[in-house]
Amino acid sequence: MIRVLIADDSGFMRLALRRMIEAESDLRVVGEAADGLAAVEQAAALRPDVVAMDLEMPGLDGVEATRRIMAMPDPPAVVMVSHHTRDGSAAALAALAAGAADTIWKGSALSGLGALDLGELDAALRVRLRHWAAVRAATRGMERVARSRRPAMAEAGPPPVPPVCGPPPLVQQRLQMVVIGASTGGPDAITAVLKAAGPLPVPVLVAQHMPADLGAHFASHLAERTGVPAVLGSHGMALPVGCSLLLPGGADGHVTRGADGGFILRLAPGHGAVHPSVDVLFRSVAVAADRALGVVLTGMGRDGTAGAEAMARRGMAVVAQSPESCVVAGMPGSLIAAGLAAEVAAPEDLGRHLARWTRPR
């Protein structure tokens, strides 16, 4: 049984969401909150698997409530359900940066109460709640495993994770590209990495789990906050140098070789609830490139570990964000637990290392 907490200041929407969620027997609403502070208190008391969170509420808004919930031990997944997540994509990015796992647009259901709008919301809501409940279940304990491994490895002698003073041992030749994957809390971590790295002399591809309509705004957000150009990827484009290439939400990105030997981005519809897939991107790079570096940042779940294994088999290094610096350490924690992290550091340190590792020696 998946336990859901609803947080919304509209009594109509709380009732509508409850009826949608409980229409099938595997989902149960365990509580309702009419404001952000009540949502935080009920999340602590009820320990739900998922929170369906509104963005604008009196007092504490959904972004700050999400931030406080994600600071709890073993937090639930938070899915932002709001009409502002499309009308104001900056709000959706703020929610993702605060730790929301996903955003769903209400349409005009609040104002018009139209059956079509509620039907569209109903079609997405249960799928996303189930997905993030499953991801959260897979993530539970992963952060503790990752954090506990590092002191044990240090006591055991020379650790598999190299010290931060030098590059991973597999980064010995000039890289052809850097690929970055992130999910929950990713926008801030990606920004910190790219700002510390500065313009790099190789293509940089970013796979951040997000809805399809946020890509262009996220590109503008990154360019403004890092001082480095960022563009939204399109099918068939050559990988640019000197800027970040963002994979659009709602699709998966593959890197292939062009006829001239250069690298090209291919986009394809993805299967499942969340895209772009980090595993798909990393696996394609393992086939197309000879010298690439992967970076796995904060996120719920295990996306990136299978792709990192494919890169490692080709002699390519993958580095991970330190669990203590993550909003949710599931993705980098999975990488560390699998013994695939060639380096573990905070985002700013990873960015500075990237600047060194991508320069000719």
Statement to judge: residues 121 and 249 lie in one domain: no
Is 108 known to be catalytic? no
Statement to judge: residues 107 and 203 lie in one domain: no
Q: Which listed residue (83, 84, 131, 209) is catalytic?
A: 209
- 3-class SS at 122? helix
Statement to judge: residues 164 and 122 lie in one domain: no
Report residue 35 CA to chain centroid gap: 26
Q: Which listed residue (303, 322, 334, 349) is catalytic?
A: 303
Domain housing 271: 142-357
Choose one of 139, 154, 170: the last residue of a domain. Answer: 139
Q: Which listed residue (183, 244, 322, 325) is catalytic?
A: 183
CATH number for the domain spanning 132: value is 3.40.50.2300
Statement to judge: residues 134 and 244 lie in one domain: no
Query: What pLDDT is stored for residue 156 in this prediction?
Result: 40
Statement to judge: residues 81 and 149 lie in one domain: no
Angle value at C-alpha 278, between 229 and 48, nearest 5 degrees: 110
Statement to judge: residues 120 and 171 lie in one domain: no
Statement to judge: residues 186 and 296 lie in one domain: yes
Statement to judge: residues 324 and 196 lie in one domain: yes
pLDDT 10s per residue in the chain (361 long)?
999 999 999 999 999 999 999 998 999 999 999 999 999 999 999 999 999 999 989 999 999 999 999 999 889 999 999 875 554 468 888 888 899 998 887 764 444 444 445 666 777 889 899 999 998 887 775 555 554 554 444 444 333 433 333 445 545 567 999 999 999 999 999 999 999 999 999 999 999 998 888 888 899 999 999 999 999 999 999 999 989 999 998 899 999 998 888 999 999 987 767 789 999 999 999 999 999 999 999 999 899 999 999 999 999 999 999 999 999 999 999 999 999 999 999 999 999 999 999 886 5
Is 131 known to be catalytic? no
Helices marked H in the chain: 11-21, 36-46, 62-70, 84-87, 89-98, 109-112, 115-139, 142-155, 186-197, 215-226, 278-288, 305-313, 330-337, 347-357
Is 183 known to be catalytic? yes
Choose one of 89, 112, 139: the last residue of a domain. Answer: 139
Q: What's the predicted TM-score (pTM) here?
A: 0.84
Query: What pLDDT is stored for residue 158 in this prediction?
Result: 33
Query: What pLDDT is stored for residue 88 in this prediction?
Result: 46
Query: What pLDDT is stored for residue 145 in this prediction?
Result: 54
Statement to judge: residues 231 and 333 lie in one domain: yes
> How many domains is the chain partitioned into structurally?
2
Query: What pLDDT is stored for residue 171 in this prediction?
Result: 52
Statement to judge: residues 19 and 129 lie in one domain: yes
CATH number for the domain spanning 247: value is 3.40.50.180
Statement to judge: residues 209 and 292 lie in one domain: yes
Statement to judge: residues 164 and 57 lie in one domain: no
Choose one of 83, 106, 139: the last residue of a domain. Answer: 139
